[in-house]
Amino acid sequence: MSDLRPGYRELAAPGGLACLWVRVVGQERDRTDVLPDGCSDLIWSAGRGAFVAGPDTGPAPVSSPPGSVLLGVRFRPGAGGAALGLPLSELRDRRVDLADVRPELAAHLDAELEPRAAAAVLSRLAAELARAPRDAEVEAAVARLADPHARVEALAGELGLSERQLRRRFHAAAGYGPKTLQRVLRFRRFLAGDRADLARAALDAGYADQAHLARECARLAGTSPTRLPGLISR
């Protein structure tokens, strides 16, 4: 996380972490929409300090002034609740100061830290958070939902849980229920795929048809499939 050149970069991370990441804004203000990905993030921003970005259900506008430095720890879908020590549904569609969630961690991530010092602290904390025990059944369900043909209705029975139990545990670990996570993961498959032929791309991602894709893009991204950008990160 020590490379502070302008741009966005990701680094591999262990356990329930999806990645460590760095975003440095160049000489012009950066304004973009972060699109839902099922993940949650612990973020340090120079001048602001540390905050948590919960899992989103729609586009989250982000505006960063020139020279902004942001460092992040991204938790995989289903891992954020355990790592942050609270039901992740409390952070859904929210950005909350880390001091209000884990004050003992926030004490190490002062807003006035030099970015490389903050990167060192964040890397150390990430290693600790990666060891947090995770919900094995939720992890198994998340893995099944990566399949475009997965049926949410069958998940609870396959895992030996009632639908109410599975939903409650999803809200705690992932921030929302399995049906919502399935929609988000399906949307991310579409974003990551070849979008030259929208009808084909819709089916490959797991949508019933192109009209289904268009409705979901409007709900999750606030725009049409033809106007979607590439993958966007916080």
Residues in the chain: 234
pLDDT digits (tens, 9 = 90+) for 26-64: 999 888 899 999 999 999 999 999 999 999 999 999 999
Residue the block writes with tokens 């600790």: 128
- Dihedral Cα 192, 195, 197, 203, nearest 10 deg: 30
The per-residue pLDDT for 181 is: 98
The per-residue pLDDT for 210 is: 97
Q: How many CB atoms lie within 10 A of CB 175?
A: 28
**Environment class of 169 (CB within 10 Å of its CB; exposed 0-12, middle 13-18, buried 19+):** buried
Residue 31 placed within a domain: yes
Instruction: pLDDT band for 230, please (50, 70, 90 cuts).
Output: low
Residue 234 placed within a domain: no
177 & 88 share domain: no
The per-residue pLDDT for 14 is: 84
* Last residue of one domain, picked from the residues 129, 145, 176: 129
* Last residue of one domain, picked from the residues 99, 129, 159: 129
pLDDT at 73 over 60: yes
49 & 162 share domain: no
Residue 233 placed within a domain: no
pTM: 0.93
The per-residue pLDDT for 31 is: 86
Q: Which domain holds residue 125?
A: 7-129
pLDDT digits (tens, 9 = 90+) for 218-227: 999 999 999 9
125 & 168 share domain: no
119 & 19 share domain: yes
pLDDT digits (tens, 9 = 90+) for 182-213: 999 999 999 999 999 999 999 999 999 999 99
3-state secondary structure of 228: coil
* Last residue of one domain, picked from the residues 129, 159, 194: 129
What are the percentages of helix, strand and coil residues in the chain, rounded to 5? Answer: 40, 20, 40
121 & 88 share domain: yes
pLDDT at 233 over 60: no
Q: Which two tokens stand for residue 180?
A: 């919502």
pLDDT at 232 over 80: no
118 & 145 share domain: no
103 & 152 share domain: no
pLDDT digits (tens, 9 = 90+) for 132-188: 999 999 999 999 999 999 999 999 999 999 999 999 999 999 999 999 999 999 999
pLDDT digits (tens, 9 = 90+) for 96-114: 999 999 999 999 999 999 9
Residue 2 placed within a domain: no
Task: Report the number of distinct structural domains present in the chain.
Answer: 2
Q: How many CB atoms lie within 10 A of CB 12?
A: 8
Identify the helix (H) or strand (E) that includes residue 123.
helix 115-129
Residue 157 placed within a domain: yes
The per-residue pLDDT for 15 is: 86
112 & 149 share domain: no
